[in-house]
Chains A and B, each alone.
Chain A
């Protein structure tokens, strides 16, 4: 069921994540020298769905889609931007967080997907600060409540106007009986290292904390008098910009509107085709290798811009994953296939590897990393099928380690020669998971010899048995068994409870150490999604349902 009248409680079309500044209703970007200002002035009258107004700079998925787009564009289109000031265009309110009425009227599935996407966007902001040399600063010219403060927490430096009124707060628990679900609790504890007892106080006072105490408690970095605010923000933004390693005097590339054609059972992008099998409840993502030979050098990469094959593939994958998450919730299995010339991909891989210090190549690899993480975090069973004619090489071979299981056909099919896979350096450092490890490190967590062995295989064509032997694929059925194996696999998988599968997959995918991101997507999200299901929040007399009516929630007082 798509996000339609039933699941959001309102009349909504399919979600489209493609947008551009000229279409923004809620955000604007202004750039002056090395500093960009990302200004939130939510148009209350343009909610994504009906039935609520986006008052007080509150947001819904429509607002966050624009934010995601803006963050992406600043990275790719503006190499000159070295720091980003996130601020509000409305009076005395920085941002009030996710719109409560929207949450109250949304289906559980929408809430979960919405929170996941907003979390990913906030992580992408942190990623830009840390790895991309675009350092974010929150200029809170008014109160930042709930998700509004969490948005600020995703930046590296938090400034709050000191007018005796503006505060930062996480009022979810006293007001709504849910958690601050966009990383707020995690970032308080792990990023800002707020003392736990003070964090406990902070998370239970509806009105939050303001002024010097907010600084003392490490909730923010600086308070600034109103009359000095703009000046001080500008000064700090330049200071942060000076820390950036972005190059001087380069021109960005344009992220032209992503081409996409859709029919009932298929979505086509350049280099990616998604086929939907509604009966089997699966979607197949077929990624096509490059048509053109690898560009001769960096200049050509920059000239090709968004058309450069690796970037084109990642953009399409990103859009396809979001589309499937929000608009095709019942397609529970996601199959990944590839087709094309592996040797050509290897050449692209080398080009990327050799130019990792170039700002655009860096952006492309970071984007790839984020998109593969998005795949890791997608609550669908993921399988990769390696068949003759496929090209799981280098950056596409990485997908084999992102999926829950991989199947490689041992032998020929339809007269095509047997498939090979090939590892490249890319899989050994450039593309990390949320847990901070590469996918191969996670895969060989208890088998360091296996990891070392894999490294020796870089650049070699591996047939099915070699890949199986190296632990790089799950199974390698031969051509006689292949079709039946696959059929049984898909039918069996489709018969299990989607909830249980989601839980199992999420637990198995992220072995190894905890990071802030794994805590957000594991601990925080799991608790939140449980609370979202509980009557105390979502029941007819739960706080989330009753918010805004003036009626007080009635809680089941039992502790669980």
Chain B
């Protein structure tokens, strides 16, 4: 099963050759996908030769190979992590029963919804990022963008495979709908709010891949232990790829920070709030970086859904979606009588309230996410420290700028203080970038297309992709 068949139109390790019905369905979907890629994928890049990795196996070692590819010719395939013999459902009311190889009738609807929502996010980010190739700060970064894009495309394939194989006509229709909805479209937008926001500049892209793709990781980790085995195996392999996306984001922001630190050191600037002092050297000031963190982090927290959620409770109890790294949690994995502490607004103040653990599944996933983000902040702050700057970046309070969940009805500062709407609006640019800030960032977005060269606002990476040297030509630009 782990052998990948690269001889057919759709590379796969699911023995597509012997499943006539599915193969026909996917082959019918394939040209629509390619159309979508050409219309909604990266702009002006169709003929570029990009140095991309392509998954060729699902083993932890050597699963990918690198080479130049024109993106529309990328071999998007269907790859599932190997099946584990005798795996049983790890949580919920079916705990201990053998995992399902087919969709259980009673959970068809719930499962389909989970897959459609996950699937909808994959092409959405490609659409959001489609113009960035034109302003890449280096060929290295352009290549990383395209790598992220093609893999999000492959993740769409992964979800479409599940829909087509397991959900009959409904699944085929949903697969079509995934290509019909478009990020930010007035008529058919993507399902989740954050996936309809624009990604206009590269700092936004790095923030997105740091914070929003990290939500993707949390969601995939929760699905990786699903009792529906095909979903578990699919998401396990997707996680392998997702790691690189977050790497692109984290190191991207890190390089932006490094660059401003270098400029501050070089010119003896010590006040991080003095944005004009550093902006004249064409870098992005630390205060604005902090504001971008505030925005992307808070918008991403909304993606987790309401902290207290019936849907999450249902899908956990049904054994369809677990918690973050479910198998490593030391409890009964059923949670029928457990509670979980959730931050809520009670009488105008933030309080921790014990909630039935089943209902607090999303709250817990958020907490795990926040811990993961804090590790990122530590890495970024290390850069400041090595440049001897007395400043640190931080995550805003979880209630800051929220449109979903427990804090959606109140206005909370980054420090966690509940304030009036008037005060919040008056002070919003203390916490979120202003139009002027964003215009400044946009103005910096001038393409740098010479191998080994980097735009003024970002430092070179510490190492190349796949061990390549600094001046390696990651993308051969072709009109």
* A binding-site residues for B, Cβ under 8 Å: 44-45, 55, 162-165, 174, 205-207, 225-228, 547-552
Contacts and interface: CB of A to CB of B under 8 A. Distances in A.
Contacts of A174: 109
A550 B191 CA distance: 23
Contacts of A162: 187-188
A164 B188 contact: yes
B359 interface: yes
B187 A207 contact: no
B318 interface: yes
Contact of A551 (B109, B188, B336, B409): B336
Given A164-B181, A174-B109, A550-B359, A225 B313 contact: no
A542 to B, nearest CB: 15
Contacts of A206: 109-110
B317 A205 contact: no
Residue among B306, B316, B317 with max Cβ neighbours from chain A (10 Å): B317
Residue among B314, B317, B356 with max Cβ neighbours from chain A (10 Å): B314
B329 interface: no
Contacts of B409: 44-45
Contacts of B186: 225-227
Nearest to B310: A548
A136 B261 CA distance: 63
Residue among B109, B191, B306 with max Cβ neighbours from chain A (10 Å): B109
Given A163-B187, A164-B180, A227-B186, A549 B112 contact: no
Nearest to A226: B187
Contact of A549 (B177, B180, B356): B356
A164 B113 contact: no
A108 B313 CA distance: 26
B359 A207 contact: no
Interface of B: 93, 109-110, 112-113, 177, 180-181, 186-189, 191, 306, 310, 312-314, 316-318, 336, 356, 358-359, 361, 409
B189 A549 contact: no
A207 B313 CA distance: 17
Contacts of B306: 55
Nearest to A554: B93
A227 B409 CA distance: 28
B130 to A, nearest CB: 20
Contacts of B359: 548-550
Given A163-B189, A225-B187, A548-B313, 20 more contacts: A163-B187, A164-B177, A164-B180, A165-B191, A205-B109, A206-B109, A207-B112, A226-B188, A227-B187, A549-B310, A549-B356, A549-B358, A550-B312, A550-B313, A550-B356, A550-B359, A551-B358, A552-B93, A552-B317, A552-B318
A222 to B, nearest CB: 15
12 contacts: A164-B180, A164-B181, A165-B181, A165-B191, A206-B109, A206-B110, A207-B112, A227-B187, A550-B312, A550-B356, A550-B361, A551-B336
A549 B313 contact: yes
Nearest to B336: A551
Contacts of B110: 206
Contacts of A547: 310
Nearest to B314: A550
A550 B188 contact: no
A48 to B, nearest CB: 19
Contacts of B361: 550
Contacts of A549: 310, 313, 356, 358-359
A227 B182 CA distance: 14
Contacts of A45: 409
A262 to B, nearest CB: 32
Contacts of B112: 207
Nearest to A163: B188
Nearest to B356: A549
A205 B113 CA distance: 12
B369 to A, nearest CB: 20
Nearest to A207: B109
A91 to B, nearest CB: 9
Contacts of B312: 550
B19 to A, nearest CB: 26
A162 B186 CA distance: 11
B127 to A, nearest CB: 14
B32 to A, nearest CB: 15
Contacts of B187: 162-163, 225-228
A207 B113 contact: yes
Contacts of A550: 310, 312-314, 316-317, 356, 358-359, 361
Residue among A162, A207, A226, A550 with max Cβ neighbours from chain B (10 Å): A550
Residue among A164, A205, A551, A552 with max Cβ neighbours from chain B (10 Å): A164
B299 to A, nearest CB: 15
A551 B317 contact: yes
A181 B132 CA distance: 52
A44 B409 CA distance: 10
Please provide the 9 A-B residue pairs with the shortest distance between their CB atoms, ordered closest to farther: A550-B313, A550-B358, A227-B186, A225-B187, A550-B317, A206-B109, A548-B310, A226-B187, A164-B188
A96 to B, nearest CB: 11
Contacts of A205: 109
A167 to B, nearest CB: 11
A313 to B, nearest CB: 44
Residue among B93, B186, B187 with max Cβ neighbours from chain A (10 Å): B187
B459 to A, nearest CB: 41
B421 to A, nearest CB: 15
Contacts of B191: 165
Contacts of A228: 187
A225 to B, nearest CB: 4
B455 to A, nearest CB: 37
A15 B25 CA distance: 57
Contacts of B318: 552
B279 to A, nearest CB: 37
A258 to B, nearest CB: 33
Nearest to A228: B187
Nearest to B94: A552
Contacts of A225: 186-188
A77 B320 CA distance: 53
B346 to A, nearest CB: 12
B197 to A, nearest CB: 15
A164 B191 CA distance: 9
Nearest to B358: A550
Given A163-B189, A227-B186, A551 B93 contact: yes
Contacts of B313: 548-551
Nearest to A91: B193
Nearest to A174: B109
A165 B180 CA distance: 11
A74 B459 CA distance: 66
A45 B189 CA distance: 29
